Amino acid sequence: MRILLINPPCRTPSMIPLGLGYVASVLRKSGHDITLKDYNVEKKDFIQIGDDLDRAEYDVLGIGGLTTTYGFVKKVSDISKRLRPKAPVIAGNMVSTAYPELLLSN
């Protein structure tokens, strides 16, 4: 399975978040094809991110971040659903655990 993992912009770039690295490693070891886009480092607007998602080959989109990244997660999820309606979007980290009802209802 082809999985696209996204790190949203949220702070000064230093290194990829450890949790996302663990997720990528476990998925790779399980035989999945992983692509990682780090938008905390790649400063792109939503048009450029939409172009990235349109060109990317993925069956599942994984995205997470801090609670403050909710707007980014929602917008990128909307873009992905428009481009690939059948590709599940999996949210993780604090953006999904702090307010799961809000995330799922929107």
Instruction: Write down all domains in the chain, each with its CATH number in brackets.
Output: 2-105 (3.40.50)
Residues 6+ apart with CB under 8 A from 36: 4, 5, 6, 7, 16, 20, 24
Residue with tokens 């070891």: 29
Residues 6+ apart with CB under 8 A from 48: none
- Answer whether residue 36 shows pLDDT above 70: yes
For residue 79, name the pLDDT band (cuts at 50, 70, 90).
very high
What is the residue-averaged pLDDT of the chain? Answer: 88
Cβ distance 94 to 29 under 8 Å? Answer: no
What distance in Å separates the CA atoms of residue 42 and residue 63, rounded to the nearest whole number?
Answer: 15
94 vs 49 pLDDT, higher one = 49
Where residue 27 falls among pLDDT bands split at 50, 70, 90? very high
Residue 53: pLDDT above 90? yes
Residue 31: what pLDDT?
A: 97
Confidence (pTM): 0.86
Has residue 14 got a pLDDT over 70? no
